[in-house]
Amino acid sequence: MLKRQQLTRTRAHISTLNSTANFDFVHVWSSRKDIKKLRVAFAYQWLIGYVPLWLLIFVMCAFYLGAGHNPSRYTGNIDVDVVDFDGQQAGSFFLDAFRTTPPGNLTLHWRYKYPDDYGNSVRQTQQAVEDGQVWAIVVLLPNTTSIINKSVLALINSTTLVTYPFVNTLPVLVTYEEGRNSFTQNSFVLPPIRAAIAVASNRYANTLRASIISNLSLTSNSNTNRTLQLQNTLRLQSLLANPFVAEYNNLHPALPFMGQFATTIGYIYFFLVTTIMVGSVIGGLKPFMGKIHYIDIILYRAFNGIFQSLMVSLIYSLVVLWLFHITSGRQFMRYWMFNWLCTTLLTVMVAFFLTNFGVFSNLFLVAIVIIMVSAATIQISLELSPRFFRYGYATPLYQAMNGGRHLLFNSHSRFGINVGVLVIYLGVLIILTMLTVIFWVKRQQRNIQKEKNTNNTMHKK
């Protein structure tokens, strides 16, 4: 029986070779009927295959680029507190400059507060930034008007040499934290603040100079020491040119610069690594299909995924903290465990899509990553994106990036919520992945067993 089958196969193979040797190959534009049918079928398959792909690419590009479209339009969503602790002439110029900022990207959501809101203490103002209530807080220090008036009066009278009054403490204090989102702070938060302070300083300086000129003209016939007046004028030149000199207190700098990559692109790197890792595990287990129990396969996948995630996150955390020159064991453990959680979540996510969608899984994974990246605050905060992209607050990538910034820069983040959301995603995906893996592995093993039974039946015949 076996010899007959082998002989039949050999004859069929020889006849196929002979027919191919005598076959005339034609070009794709041939007018033969069979080639025409193939052309039509190919064109149809080409359109069916690529047009939906183009539409998907269009949607993904619209998502990614749409999130950063015209952020200057949404600067009114950035909260900044403005506090006048002076309450006199300087304070009126200070507040008026912020109230009259031009529309557009030079106007933020200015929230005018009273000193009572902060217990009449300048030190307590930075807590609003630490807690993430505002992106920055601008404070005019107490007694600014009286200090400036005292210096101006000394210049007019010129009985003694005067000194610049704000040597130790500048009159304006701007508190912010760059680590929360460096691009948003440096490009959209600080420039409007600087512009408003510059306008207030210019207006107040004009008033001071006019007052000095008027008073000096009244004392032109007196016995005032003109040489001393000139010396005092030169000493107070910086005050008369810019009375509102600002001190910028960056609570948590986004330094070194490498940390900005570690807390943004780094988590996309995790996704690429986990995709390769999961794909290699699934491919390596194929020889065992149909030979060992499906429980063994599932357990191996689970423990291998957890262990590989542990090692990948360990390597990544060691490199980041080494480049950061961080030697704190506690900070290292927190950062490592957080990255392990993120990597495990991405591993389970990749495994779920590979298990259920096969060759189409990469398409789904890329689409999901683009959707998450669009609202993950890689560059600009969600306040500067259209309201539609606020869905980012619920995505795992947003939690990972903001939690990572908190651990590296100590910047504001609701870290407990970041971890909680990631744990919920991980729990749900583990349940779904385990159920689907059990279903597909059992089904595959049944098919392998059926094929074996069929082959055994044929050999017996």
Per-residue pLDDT, 461: 58
In the chain, the amino acid numbered 431 is: I
CATH number of the domain within which 139 lies: 3.40.1710
Per-residue pLDDT, 2: 42
- Would residue 11 count as lying in a domain? no
Residue with tokens 């700098």: 253
Lookup: tokens for 2: 């076996």
Per-residue pLDDT, 5: 47
Which of 233, 250, 267 marks a domain boundary? 250
Per-residue pLDDT, 427: 94
Which of 200, 227, 250 marks a domain boundary? 250
**Of the ranges 171-185, 302-316, 317-331, the best mean pLDDT one:** 171-185
Burial class (CB in 10 A: 0-12, 13-18, 19+), 339: buried
Asked whether residue 201 falls in the same domain as residue 88, the answer is yes
CA distance 133 to 278: 41
Q: Which residues contact 69 (CB under 8 A, 6 or more apart)?
A: 386
- Would residue 347 count as lying in a domain? yes
Percentage of residues in the chain with pLDDT exceeding 90? 38
Higher per-residue pLDDT: 250 or 325: 250
CA distance 149 to 411: 39
The answer, yes or no, to whether residue 285 has pLDDT greater than 80, is no
Q: For the beta carbon of residue 357, count every other beta carbon within 10 angstroms.
A: 13
- Would residue 82 count as lying in a domain? yes
The answer, yes or no, to whether residue 368 has pLDDT greater than 90, is no
Asked whether residue 246 falls in the same domain as residue 286, the answer is no
The answer, yes or no, to whether residue 326 has pLDDT greater than 80, is no
CA dihedral for 348, 354, 360, 366, sign (positive or negative): positive
The answer, yes or no, to whether residue 216 has pLDDT greater than 60, is yes
Q: How confident is the model at residue 8 (pLDDT cuts 50, 70, 90)?
A: low
Per-residue pLDDT, 282: 66
* Mean of pLDDT values over 424-448: 85
Among 295, 300, 301, CA closest to 278: 301
Which of 202, 219, 250 marks a domain boundary? 250
The answer, yes or no, to whether residue 119 has pLDDT greater than 60, is yes
* Entry pTM: 0.80
Lookup: tokens for 428: 């749900």
User: 63-77, 102-116, 232-246, 281-295 — which is least confidently predicted?
Assistant: 281-295
In the chain, the amino acid numbered 312 is: V
User: 173-187, 263-277, 302-316, 394-408 — which is least confidently predicted?
Assistant: 263-277
CA distance 260 to 265: 8
Asked whether residue 198 falls in the same domain as residue 266, the answer is no
The answer, yes or no, to whether residue 341 has pLDDT greater than 90, is yes
Asked whether residue 165 falls in the same domain as residue 291, the answer is no
Q: How confident is the model at residue 202 (pLDDT cuts 50, 70, 90)?
A: very high
Lookup: tokens for 300: 């191996």
The answer, yes or no, to whether residue 250 has pLDDT greater than 80, is yes
Asked whether residue 276 falls in the same domain as residue 214, the answer is no
Percentage of residues in the chain with pLDDT exceeding 70? 89
Per-residue pLDDT, 280: 73
Asked whether residue 196 falls in the same domain as residue 272, the answer is no
Task: Give tens-digit pLDDT for 151-171.
Answer: 888 877 777 778 888 878 899
Per-residue pLDDT, 294: 67
Higher per-residue pLDDT: 267 or 280: 267
Per-residue pLDDT, 336: 94
Among 90, 113, 78, 33, CA closest to 183: 78
Asked whether residue 231 falls in the same domain as residue 102, the answer is yes
User: 69-73, 80-84, 356-360 — which is least confidently predicted?
Assistant: 356-360
Three-class HEC string of the chain: CHHHHHHHHHHHHHHHHHHHHCCCCCCCCCCCHHHHHHHHHHHHHHHHHHHHHHHHHHHHHHHHHHCCCCHHHHHHHCEEEEEECCCCHHHHHHHHHHHCCCCCCCCCEEEEECHHHHCCCCHHHHHHHHCCCCCEEEEECCCHHHHHHHHHHHHHHCCCCCCCCCCCCCCEEEEECHHHCHHHHHHHHHHHHHHHHHHHHHHHHHHHHHHHHHHHHHCCCCCCCHHHHHHHHHHCHHHHHCCCCEEEEECCCCCCCHHHHHCCHHHHHHHHHHHHHHHHHHHHCHHHCCCCCHHHHHHHHHHHHHHHHHHHHHHHHHHHHHHHCCCCHHHHHHHHHHHHHHHHHHHHHHHHHHHHHHHHHHHHHHHHHHHHHHCCCCCCCHHHCCHHHHHHHHCHHHHHHHHHHHHHHCCCCCHHHHHHHHHHHHHHHHHHHHHHHHHHHHHHHHHHHHHHHHHHHHHHC
- The whole-chain average pLDDT of the chain stands at 84
Asked whether residue 341 falls in the same domain as residue 209, the answer is no
The answer, yes or no, to whether residue 207 has pLDDT greater than 70, is yes
Q: Which residues contact 231 (CB under 8 A, 6 or more apart)?
A: 161
Q: Which residues contact 312 (CB under 8 A, 6 or more apart)?
A: 270, 273, 274, 277, 343
- Would residue 378 count as lying in a domain? yes
Asked whether residue 262 falls in the same domain as residue 244, the answer is no
Residue with tokens 């600002």: 246
Per-residue pLDDT, 189: 96
In the chain, the amino acid numbered 93 is: F
- Would residue 24 count as lying in a domain? no
320 and 266 Cβ atoms separated by less than 8 Å: yes
Per-residue pLDDT, 366: 82
- Would residue 98 count as lying in a domain? yes
Per-residue pLDDT, 11: 54
**Of the ranges 22-36, 205-219, 242-256, 317-331, the best mean pLDDT one:** 242-256
The answer, yes or no, to whether residue 1 has pLDDT greater than 60, is no
Q: What φ, ψ does residue 111 adopt, rounded to 5°?
A: -110, 110
Residue with tokens 């595990």: 281
Q: How confident is the model at residue 110 (pLDDT cuts 50, 70, 90)?
A: very high
Q: How confident is the model at residue 364 (pLDDT cuts 50, 70, 90)?
A: confident
**Of the ranges 105-119, 245-259, 373-387, the best mean pLDDT one:** 105-119
Per-residue pLDDT, 29: 80
Cα 5–chain centre separation: 65
- Would residue 336 count as lying in a domain? yes
Higher per-residue pLDDT: 155 or 140: 140
- Would residue 34 count as lying in a domain? no
Q: Give the chain's domain count.
A: 2
In the chain, the amino acid numbered 290 is: G
Asked whether residue 295 falls in the same domain as residue 329, the answer is yes
Cross-strand pairs, 111: 81
Structural domain of 357: 258-460
Cross-strand pairs, 82: 112, 138
Among 81, 92, 186, 192, CA closest to 145: 92
* Mean of pLDDT values over 203-215: 88
The answer, yes or no, to whether residue 95 has pLDDT greater than 50, is yes
Task: Give tens-digit pLDDT for 378-392.
Answer: 888 999 999 999 999
Asked whether residue 192 falls in the same domain as residue 284, the answer is no
Asked whether residue 222 falls in the same domain as residue 272, the answer is no
